[in-house]
Amino acid sequence: MGLEVRIGDRIAEVKLVRRDENIAVFEVDGVEYEVDIAQVENGVFSIIHNGKSFNIEIIPGDGPKNYYVNTFYNSHEVEIIDAQSRYQRSRKALDDHAADKIISTPMPGRVVKIPVSEGETVSKGTTVIVISAMKMESEYKSPVDGIVKKIFVAEGDNINANQPLVEIE
Amino acid sequence: MIKKVLIANRGEIAVRVIRSCREMGILSVAVYSDADRRALHVRYADEAYHIGPSPSRESYLNGDKIIEVALKAGADAIHPGYGFLSENADFARKCAEAGITFIGPDPQAINQMGDKITARQTMIAAGVPVVPGTQQKVSDMETVRKIVDEIGLPVIIKASAGGGGKGMRLVRKPEELISAVKMAQSEALSAFGDDTVYMEKYVESPHHIEFQILADRHGNTVHLFERECSIQRRHQKVVEETPSPFLTPELRDEMGKAAVAAAKAVNYVGAGTIEFLVDANHNFYFLEMNTRLQVEHPITERVTGIDLVKEQIRIASGLPISFKQDEIAQHGHAIECRILAEDPFNNFMPSPGLIRHISEPNGLGVRTDGYAYEGYEIPIYYDPMISKLITWGRDRTEAINRMKRALFEYKITGVKTSIRFLERIMDNHDFRMGNYNTHFIPEHLDELMDIQPRGSKIFEDMAIIAAYFDFITKMEKVAMSDFTVTHSDNWKTYGLKRSLLPY
């Protein structure tokens, strides 16, 4: 079964060429790897390739096709792409595009500062609101060049997670 | 001797204090808020009591409630940890009134060191060098100008009741002076309800170096050498090490003596830290005293071999410190990295949430002080620290290389962490040379943010193979189960499979 696998920004074509017990041959973007692959504990694979040992931790992500994968040096987000996830990805990209212009935070906190006012022109990267949460102050920047259309909160306000704060047009 | 300790704190420090209690045969009592029912300190302690809703103001800062629980549980002492009530003189006094030992200094020492102007005056009287500046609060602009004429620009204006950089203003030009004082006053008033400000000479390119001290009720005061804490971001420490690569043996000796003198000046009892600013010419100045255990205390423990929490408990029990000044030395080199739930590559945004997976580093010379576990959700109400990673080496280079190895081994999935940022610091040439001051992070930010892919492409391909292999194995299992006769509810089975099926 050949599939596309996304790892970071890279999309690789993968297939299992053949398998005999724990010895398997995979092809990744045209390169063949003959490996000894063993699931050694829940979520951990040991792969030996030409005598080189790789300990790979795989952690289930948000869906059955999403993983977090840890190698010794790096942590990757990995997604198995099939027709369904390809469709969902294109939908999500459209939604993200629209949602980006309303700034909100993932956690509750307090508005420390709003250095812009309604009607002001801002460029991409301009700090539009400063939020204090988890004992830290974070600056939220405009994702686009635009105009501050609406400010929904005032300095000193307590805010909830995902509450609209500033809208950029 | 104290027999039962209530720990008025949460997170890694609560767990760390309980560990020492266990070793001393002392019973431990945990307290927790709504958000912390599943937290490790609750599971690890001998007893645990609920004290209120999640916001710290209604739980971990509710001193009356905590004392009530201590009395109910029959605890004879309270360890405040750091943060929360640890430097609250009022709470220390209430503990004493309730007949409970507060594991920390006397309320009067907390007060004397808590107010920066009082602390300054006390230090001057004790002969401890302070940064040139005012001893009294500044209000009229005439005085402001006169002081600046005396000490020279640049100056820094600070709120007397302040901390964490609030109400602070740096002035480099004479024309900025008046407006800066006014702004600092209004900021101080809104942040602390007190507009008292004072003025100090601004020390250029300073090092932040602190000395750990211990003092008992038998007249012994000792220091446990320094901690170099100059790697900071927005006045928050990021990496600490000891010994400091910047100090000479002579300067260390001199500063150690000053730290002991500072503690004696307020009749200090317990564990405390004297913070100094050290300029490029090795002049040092008293900055402030923290009248509690510090976050970074483990590096001192690692090089001296002294368990600071045990000493705190001994001292609070009325026993003398278990060693003499000339019996301790710094063995090797220790470094601490703070592992925070934050995204360094997105403006250091806090990243609370569910820990899906955690594997902690191990091996010779590695210590982790943490409290998170797989399936634990880091609450949004408290600070974002997940753990502290401490490594030791025979020399600085070995300690740094060991830290790099340990950071590589440390895997936390589900929340974003500062691990990769810390790896970049360990790789930085100036850091490795020991050539840095408090401007290190802002000056090297671009370099520290530049994440190069590491390891060869083959690691990435192996990651792809593992994920792909797991996926197709799962698919095979689903396909196989279609041929087996099931006796369970078909709809339920279909629902379960649907979440796994690709189409």
CB B423 within 8 A of CB B407: yes
3-state DSSP of B442-470 = HHHHHHHHCCCCCCCHHHHHHHHHHHHHH
Mean pLDDT of chain B: 91
Beta-carbon pairs below 8 A across chains A and B = 150
Residues of B in contact with A71 (CB under 8 A): 455, 459-460, 462-463
Q: What value does the mean pLDDT take over residues A65-76? A: 88
State the pairing for strand pair B333-340/B236-242.
Answer: antiparallel
Interchain contact, B466 vs A70, CB within 8 Å: no
B346 versus B161: which is more confidently predicted?
B346
Q: How far is B232 from chain A (nearest CA, A)?
A: 14
Angle between helices B308-316 and B11-24 (to 10 degrees): 70
Residues of A in contact with B383 (CB under 8 A): 134-136
- pLDDT at residue B502 above 50? no
For A86-116, the pLDDT digits (tens) are: 777 666 665 555 555 888 887 778 898 899 9
- pLDDT at residue B477 above 90? no
Mean pLDDT of chain A: 86
Active site residues of B: 292
Residues of B in contact with A76 (CB under 8 A): 460, 463
Q: What is the DSSP string of B100-156?
A: -EESS--HHHHHHHHSHHHHHHHHHHTT--B-SB-SS-B-SHHHHHHHHHHH-S-EE
Place of tokens 């400091």: B244
Reported as a pLDDT band with limits 50, 70 and 90, residue B326 is: very high
Interchain contact, A107 vs B459, CB within 8 Å: no
Give the model's pLDDT for residue B57: 92
Percent of chain B at pLDDT exceeding 90: 72
Reported as a pLDDT band with limits 50, 70 and 90, residue B178 is: confident
**Partners of B344 in the beta sheet?**
none
Q: How far is B397 from chain A (nearest CA, A)?
A: 20
Reported as a pLDDT band with limits 50, 70 and 90, residue B371 is: very high
Residues with Cβ within 8 Å of residue B106, at least 6 apart in sequence: B92, B267, B269
Residues of B in contact with A80 (CB under 8 A): 467-468, 471
For B429-473, the pLDDT digits (tens) are: 999 999 999 999 999 999 999 877 667 789 999 999 999 999 999
Q: What value does the mean pLDDT take over residues B81-103? A: 97
**Mutate which: A23, A80, A113, A139, vs B, most B CBs within 10 A:** A80
Interchain contact, A28 vs B350, CB within 8 Å: no
Interchain contact, B408 vs A72, CB within 8 Å: yes
**Residue B167 one-letter amino acid:** G
- pLDDT at residue A64 above 60? yes
CB B83 within 8 A of CB B383: yes
Beta-strand ranges (E) seen in B151-206 are 155-159, 169-171, 197-201
Q: How far is B112 from chain A (nearest CA, A)?
A: 26
Reported as a pLDDT band with limits 50, 70 and 90, residue A45 is: very high
Interchain contact, B462 vs A83, CB within 8 Å: no
For B126-140, the pLDDT digits (tens) are: 999 999 887 667 777
Distance from C-alpha of A150 to C-alpha of A165, rounded to nearest angstrom: 8
Interchain contact, B356 vs A26, CB within 8 Å: no
Give the model's pLDDT for residue B488: 53
pTM, full prediction: 0.83
Distance from C-alpha of B127 to C-alpha of B231, rounded to nearest angstrom: 29
- pLDDT at residue B5 above 90? yes
For B387-433, the pLDDT digits (tens) are: 999 999 999 999 999 999 999 999 998 888 999 999 999 999 999 99
From A12, which residue of chain B is nearest by alpha-carbon distance? Answer: B464
- Alpha helical stretches, state H, B201-343: 249-265, 297-304, 308-316
Give the model's pLDDT for residue B2: 97
Interchain contact, A14 vs B342, CB within 8 Å: no
Can you read off the two tokens belonging to residue B89? 């003189």
Residues of A in contact with B466 (CB under 8 A): 37, 45, 47, 56, 58, 69
* Nearest residue to A54 via CA among B432, B466, B200: B466
Q: How far is A120 from chain B (nearest CA, A)?
A: 23
Q: What value does the mean pLDDT take over residues B171-179? A: 88
Q: Is the ipTM, as predicted for this complex, more than 0.95?
A: no
Residues of A in contact with B503 (CB under 8 A): 82-84
Interchain contact, A35 vs B382, CB within 8 Å: no
- pLDDT at residue B56 above 70? yes
**Residue A60 one-letter amino acid:** P
* Nearest residue to B415 via CA among B368, B461, B375, B443: B375
Residues of B in contact with A58 (CB under 8 A): 466-467, 470
Residue B57 to residues A29, B50, B291, Cα–Cα distance (Å)? 56, 14, 21
Reported as a pLDDT band with limits 50, 70 and 90, residue B480 is: confident
Q: How far is A169 from chain B (nearest CA, A)?
A: 22
Reported as a pLDDT band with limits 50, 70 and 90, residue B495 is: low
From B452, which residue of chain A is nearest by alpha-carbon distance? Answer: A74
Can you read off the two tokens belonging to residue B359? 């594997």
Give the model's pLDDT for residue A42: 83
The phi, psi pair for B408, rounded to 5°, reads -65, -40
Domains (range + CATH), chain A? 3-98 (3.30.700.30), 102-168 (2.40.50.100)
Give the model's pLDDT for residue A67: 92
For B223-270, the pLDDT digits (tens) are: 999 999 999 998 899 999 999 999 999 999 999 999 999 999 999 999
Q: What value does the mean pLDDT take over residues B470-480? A: 86
- pLDDT at residue B503 above 50? no
* Nearest residue to B49 via CA among B287, B57, B60: B60
Distance from C-alpha of B218 to C-alpha of B320, rounded to nearest angstrom: 6
Distance from C-alpha of B135 to C-alpha of B139, rounded to nearest angstrom: 13
Q: How far is A103 from chain B (nearest CA, A)?
A: 14
Summarize chain A as % helix, strand, coil (round to 5).
Answer: 10, 55, 35
Q: What value does the mean pLDDT take over residues B168-188? A: 86
Reported as a pLDDT band with limits 50, 70 and 90, residue B492 is: low
**Partners of B283 in the beta sheet?**
none
Cis peptide, bond prior to residue B154, ω within 30 of zero: yes
Burial of B150 (0-12, 13-18, 19+ CB in 10 A): exposed
The answer to which of A39-48, B202-211, B293-302, B475-484 has the lowest mean pLDDT is B475-484
| Nearest CB to B465; choose among A35, A73, A74 | A35
**Mutate which: B232, B354, B451, B465, vs A, most A CBs within 10 A:** B465
Residues of B in contact with A69 (CB under 8 A): 463, 466-467
Can you read off the two tokens belonging to residue B170? 């740096």
- pLDDT at residue B476 above 80? yes
CB B41 within 8 A of CB B112: no
B481 versus B37: which is more confidently predicted?
B37
Give the model's pLDDT for residue B136: 67
Interchain contact, A71 vs B463, CB within 8 Å: yes
- pLDDT at residue B203 above 70? yes
Give the model's pLDDT for residue B164: 57
CB A130 within 8 A of CB A138: yes
State the pairing for strand pair B357-359/B411-413.
Answer: antiparallel
Cis peptide, bond prior to residue B243, ω within 30 of zero: yes
